[in-house]
Amino acid sequence: MKRISLFFGIILMNMSGCGGLKQSTDDLITIDVTKSYPNKELILQDFMDVEYIALETNDEFINQGIVIAVGKQIIVVKNIIRDGDMFVYDRNGKALRKINRMGQGGEEYVNINSLTLDEDNEEMFVNDAKKILVYDLYGKFKRSFPSSYGYLYNLDRESFICHNKSFDVNVNETDKPPFLIISKKDGSITKEIQPVCQQKRPSSVSIQRNDMTVVAFTSNFPYNAIIPWHESWILTVYSNDTIYQYLSDHSLTPFLARTPSIQSTNPEAFMSIGLLTERYWFLQTEKIEADIAGNTPATASVFFPTTHILYDRQEKDIYKYTVYNGDFSTQKPVKMSRAPSNSTIAFYQKIETHELVEAYTKGELKGKLKEIAAKLDAEDNPVIMLVKHKK
């Protein structure tokens, strides 16, 4: 079950659907979201490369290890609390510098919603929801521009590809493009990406329990709208029947489809991609049916049923799955629906040091992770696990 807290306020999302979209190619893979599939167990290291980075701990570098960007040369983390600190490490975990430009001024961010590294141009782009602030890799301010964009992915030296938040909030404007290509220089839109057959859909669910009604907004489904895939991009409009591939020639082609049509299911079940690998495609479906926990609307939480499945490209079959980290002798599950970093790094995950120290003491670790844990103190900064596509 997926939990979405209303306590912090949930931002409304108006989703688009494309019921009954026909397949344009004979070999388009179609997933039946209503079926029950057999289970499959996998070891992560059998199909992905895994790198561990122990973040250096010193008096100036004590943090909670929330990764906000990983590049070829550096990794940037922050704390859960909104203190504005960004801790910059090299890819070996050596502490380099701490940056904080939080404030109300024109050159400052009010929050770090996301950060995108552009190491080719030696810049980093902080998205604080209202604007994008551009700094060099040492935190010196360079420029800013307004933002209604989601996470920015490097398309090339001059451009980002991103999700268009205006598509989500303009309920009556069905022609809003869900994806954009924007200039890194000033944030101007250079191209709109418009998958076919957009149609605005209900954005919330009202749940009644006894004498309490809670409205749950569906924007917090943590799906990955954009996924880098080789030299292309996989684009998901959450309630479309078809997921598209955006190619380097700017064409859109169907990549993956679901059946039955979303408009014919009750309750509706949305399908999205968690991670793509050469053999396995990890997917999830979320049903728009929910229950609530809590005694008042202000403290209530909403639960949406989620099913995790994979498509095995070699066996050409579909399974429910569990993936385990092979560097633990015990069965340690790995979540495969995390947001991708770039075309090389599939995703990252922090591991708390006190958990590693305990596992090491019990003799539950193997390989490089065991070597790292042997040198850790339980109070050290977290260890970052980078999961990379095999070369």
Q: What is the pLDDT of residues 348-387, one digit of tens each?
A: 999 999 999 999 999 999 999 999 999 999 999 999 999 9
User: Is residue 7 pLDDT above 50, yes or no?
Assistant: no
Q: Which of 325, 340, 328, 237 is nearest to 282 (CA)?
A: 340
Q: How far is Cα 80 from Cα 84, in angstroms, rounded to an integer?
A: 10
Q: What is the mean pLDDT of the chain?
A: 85
| Nearest Cα to Cα of residue 78 among 120, 109, 121, 118 | 109
The CATH number of 2-389 is: 2.130.10
The mean pLDDT of 20-43, rounded to a whole number, is 78
Confidence of residue 155 (pLDDT cuts 50, 70, 90): very high
Worst-scoring range by mean pLDDT, 95-109, 214-228, 311-325, 370-384? 214-228
179 within 8 A of 161, measured Cβ to Cβ? yes
pLDDT exceeds 60 at position 197: no
Q: How confident is the model at residue 286 (pLDDT cuts 50, 70, 90)?
A: confident
pLDDT mean over 128-137: 94
* Contacting residues for 301 by C-beta, under 8 A, at least 6 apart: 3, 4, 5, 6, 7, 292, 293, 294
How would residue 198 be classed by pLDDT, with cut points 50, 70 and 90? very low
Range scoring the smallest mean pLDDT among 187-191, 219-223, 303-307, 319-323: 219-223
Q: Give the model's pLDDT for residue 178.
A: 87
Query: Domains of the chain: which residue ranges?
Result: 2-389
Note the pLDDT tens digit of each residue in 210-235: 666 766 665 545 468 899 998 899 99
Given this model, what pLDDT does residue 305 score? 78
CA dist 36 and 218 (Å) reads 24
What is the model's pLDDT at position 290?
Answer: 60
288 pLDDT higher than 90 = no
Query: Within 13 Å and on the Cβ side, how many CA atoms surround 290?
Result: 25
The gap from C-alpha 283 to its chain's centroid, in whole angstroms, comes to 13
pLDDT exceeds cutoff 50 at 174: yes
Indicate the range of 66-75, 286-295, 327-336 predicted with least confidence: 286-295
**This prediction's pTM:** 0.86
Confidence of residue 90 (pLDDT cuts 50, 70, 90): very high
**Residue labelled with tokens 């009644």:** 208
